[in-house]
Amino acid sequence: MPQERFDRICPSPISFLENGVGPPGGVIRFDVAEPGFPPPEGAIEATKQALSSGMFRYSPSRGIPELRGALATFLKSTRQIEYSIDEILVTTGGKFANYAFFASLLKPGDSVVLTKPFWTSYKAVPEMLGVRVVEVWATPPYHLDEEALKSVLGETTRAIVLNSPNNPTGGILSESDLRLVKDLAEDRDLLVLSDEIDWAYVYGGRHFVSPASIEGLRDRVVVTDGFSKVFCMTGWRVGFAAGPKPLIDRMHTVQEHAVSSPPTFAQYGCLRALDGYREYIERNLATCRRNLESVLDTLNSTGSIICPEPEGGFYVYPRLDPAICSSREFCDALLRREGVATIPGECFGDSRNHFRLCYAVNREVLDEGLGKIARFAEDLRDRNQEKLKKA
Ligand code: PLP
């Protein structure tokens, strides 16, 4: 791949701070989409037990059968979709499930449709593989625009990426959005990558509906998900994909040759996490709702930031008044001066002056960071008003 293509790739938030940007004394990290809650009870113990009982060798490259079986049950009850064990691939994180989709089902010269704003890796990975990315705006918070979509579908279009609840907006696709996807997918013979990694983070009595559960769409959809966000097990690096066997078989070939198997002992920890997960999820959602209230109150009272209430996810995607400065300058100065990391909308293909802030963190950290953001934004607003008076 030519060097310029690498140079254009937006860095992932995880690598963003590697060079020690920010004032001394540590950085408050609202940038990474990593819930800071403890993993489910028993998951750590089960991982340790797996290690001490010798589960530290390679294991089947599709994932251990116990976990694939448990995931079939989990997908049935959380998404109302029936998958056989052969239609499930345990992967090295949700990221690798997405990677395997692009690498095995698309070829250089094909194109894939992304709805903007989109999560950074959906653009980076296909571009690295020589697949063309076509971007189309979603209607806020995350609905599909039929005319806009139809206008970008062409001869080379092979797939569309859906990500509901959406990272970064938190928007959730409606059933009518999904019916549109079905019609377009049938009409244009498209595959659908449905990244459902945040499926449980849904508020206000809303329901998440998987595109794969829509009649007639199942055989075109690959669902990707993982243990990082809903189970707060980011470091286990376990994700999964579910879909029609011929597609999963191709994705498996990529995984088999690229990574052999996902970490063996980690899969046993994930298996335990699936025991009684509902209560665990409810607890974290209650914390997220409380945190979200403080985030909305604080940001909306700055006078320079408009923060809509998200439908889902564990981040907000507010807009900064462009008269104050660009969101990129804002995020940069907030990090350097106050030690609070957030991500500008440009990393999600969006230059409308938004930024993303992840609030699934512990309460003290949240309060400290919000206090710093409020002071910083108010200071910027006051300076801007003085500048206007002088002008
Ligand atoms: N999909 C989305 C939308 C994400 O935000 C992330 C992580 O940030 C992932 C997938 C991948 O998560 P993991 O590889 O940790 O399972």
Indicate whether 16 pLDDT > 90. no
89 Cα: distance to centroid of ligand 1 (angstroms)? 16
Please give the pLDDT value at position 84. 98
The residues lining ligand 1, judged by C-beta closer than 6 Å to any ligand atom, are 33, 93-95, 119, 163, 167, 195, 197, 226, 228, 234, 239
Determine the average pLDDT of the residues in 189-201. Answer: 98
182 Cα: distance to centroid of ligand 1 (angstroms)? 25
Ligand 1 atom 8: residue of nearest CA: 33
Please give the pLDDT value at position 241. 98
Mean pLDDT, the chain, whole residue set: 94
233 Cα: distance to centroid of ligand 1 (angstroms)? 11
54 pLDDT band (50/70/90 cuts)?
A: very high
Place of tokens 């914390």: 287
9 Cα: distance to centroid of ligand 1 (angstroms)? 17
Domain spans of the chain, in order of start: 3-38+278-390, 41-276
Indicate whether 226 pLDDT > 70. yes
β partners of residue 9? none
Task: Give the percent of the chain with pLDDT over 70.
Answer: 94
Ligand 1 atom 12: residue of nearest CA: 94
- Residue 60 has a CB neighbour count (10 Å cut-off) of 17
Note the pLDDT tens digit of each residue in 266-301.
999 999 999 989 999 999 999 999 999 999 999 999
CATH architecture of 41-276: 3-Layer(aba) Sandwich (3.40)
User: What does the alpha-carbon distance between residue 154 and residue 142 come to, in Å, rounded to a whole number?
Assistant: 23
- Phi-psi domain of 236 (left: phi exceeds 0; alpha: psi -120 through 50; beta: other): alpha
Return the best residue to mutate from 12, 98, 119 for the ligand 1 pocket (most ligand atoms within 8 A of CB).
Answer: 119
User: What does the alpha-carbon distance between residue 293 and residue 194 come to, in Å, rounded to a whole number?
Assistant: 29
Please give the pLDDT value at position 336. 92
Atom of ligand 1 lying closest to residue 97 CA = 14
Q: How many CA atoms lie within 13 A of 5 on its CB side?
A: 13
User: What does the alpha-carbon distance between residue 386 and residue 389 come to, in Å, rounded to a whole number?
Assistant: 5
Please give the pLDDT value at position 96. 98
387 Cα: distance to centroid of ligand 1 (angstroms)? 42
Domains 3-38+278-390 and 41-276 share a fold: no
121 Cα: distance to centroid of ligand 1 (angstroms)? 9
Angle between helices 245-259 and 93-105 (to 10 degrees): 110
Note the pLDDT tens digit of each residue in 200-210.
999 999 989 99
Please give the pLDDT value at position 382. 85
Note the pLDDT tens digit of each residue in 359-369.
999 999 999 99
Residue 309 has phi, psi (to 5 degrees) of: -75, 125
Return the best residue to mutate from 15, 30, 95 for the ligand 1 pocket (most ligand atoms within 8 A of CB).
Answer: 95
Return the best residue to mutate from 90, 121, 315 for the ligand 1 pocket (most ligand atoms within 8 A of CB).
Answer: 121
Atom of ligand 1 lying closest to residue 95 CA = 14
Please give the pLDDT value at position 264. 98
18 pLDDT band (50/70/90 cuts)?
A: low
Q: How does DSSP classify residue 109?
A: T
For the full predicted model, state whether its pTM sits above 0.85. Answer: yes
Return the best residue to mutate from 193, 197, 237 for the ligand 1 pocket (most ligand atoms within 8 A of CB).
Answer: 197
Determine the average pLDDT of the residues in 111-130. Answer: 97
Atom of ligand 1 lying closest to residue 92 CA = 14
227 Cα: distance to centroid of ligand 1 (angstroms)? 9
Question: Regarding the domain delimited by 3-38+278-390, which CATH topology (the fold level of the hierarchy) does it fall under?
Answer: Aspartate Aminotransferase, domain 1 (3.90.1150)
